[in-house]
Amino acid sequence: MKRIVLICVFALWSAFTFAQKNWVKQKLTSHFTASFPSAPSQTASTTFALKDSTNVIYTATYSFIAQNLKVEEKIFEKLAATNEFAGEFLSTLQATLPQYSLEKLQLKQHKNYVNYLTSGRNETEKKTIFMNIVFVNGVYYSLSCIVPDGIQSNKDLFLNSFQIDK
């Protein structure tokens, strides 16, 4: 039994490692790099996107949120870690994605950085959006994956395959 479990763990680890080797690293800013299944297109000055052959959409975008809110970076980092700010952020996010019913944000820590996780459902188009938003030095980086019903995707790998450089 232990042998079967070890074989399964090794197989999953190998698939994860192999799948990411062929991925394309896209530098969003000097502090953040996202990995895509293949080369994305720059669709706006701060947004990169890729639609694969199964109609799964991968996007990475960023915004200088502390600067836009006119808040110092150190103060903003503390603010982003509060439930109150997370609630306001979710309201703003929901307004930009009205076709999705977004779930409450989960506040997490990635190393020393605050990040929010959420997902949302679009019943009309039968697809789900998954999001990982990471706050680094007053900038928010949003990794999103939109998956049509019934499609297997690399969403978890995409949402967690990023690199933060100091």
10 pLDDT exceeds 80?
no
Q: Which residues pair with 127 in a beta bridge?
A: 122, 148
16 pLDDT exceeds 60?
no
Collapsing DSSP to helix, strand or coil, 75 comes out as: helix
pLDDT tens for each residue of 76-134: 999 999 999 999 999 999 999 999 999 999 999 878 899 999 999 999 999 999 999 99
**pLDDT-based confidence at 25, cuts 50/70/90?**
very high
Q: Which amino acid is at 46?
A: T
Higher pLDDT pick, 20 / 110: 110
pLDDT at 26: 97
Collapsing DSSP to helix, strand or coil, 144 comes out as: strand
Place of tokens 């706050």: 135
pTM of the prediction?
A: 0.84
For domain 34-164, the question of CATH label 3.50.30.10 is answered with no
CA gap 68, 45 in Å, rounded: 16
Cα 124 to the chain's mean position, in Å? 23
17 pLDDT exceeds 70?
no
Residue ranges per domain, the chain?
34-164
Instruction: Give the 3-state secondary structure of 2-59.
Output: HHHHHHHHHHHHHHHHHHHHCCEEEEEECCEEEEECCCCEEEECCEEEEECCCCCEEE
pLDDT at 118: 97
**pLDDT-based confidence at 72, cuts 50/70/90?**
very high
CA gap 66, 32 in Å, rounded: 16
Whether 36 and 50 have beta carbons less than 8 Å apart is answered as yes
pLDDT at 42: 96
**Mean pLDDT, the chain, as a whole number?**
88
Whether 119 and 105 have beta carbons less than 8 Å apart is answered as no
How much is the average pLDDT of 65-80?
A: 93
Whether 66 and 73 have beta carbons less than 8 Å apart is answered as yes
CA gap 79, 114 in Å, rounded: 10
What distance separates the 2 farthest-apart alpha carbons in the chain?
58
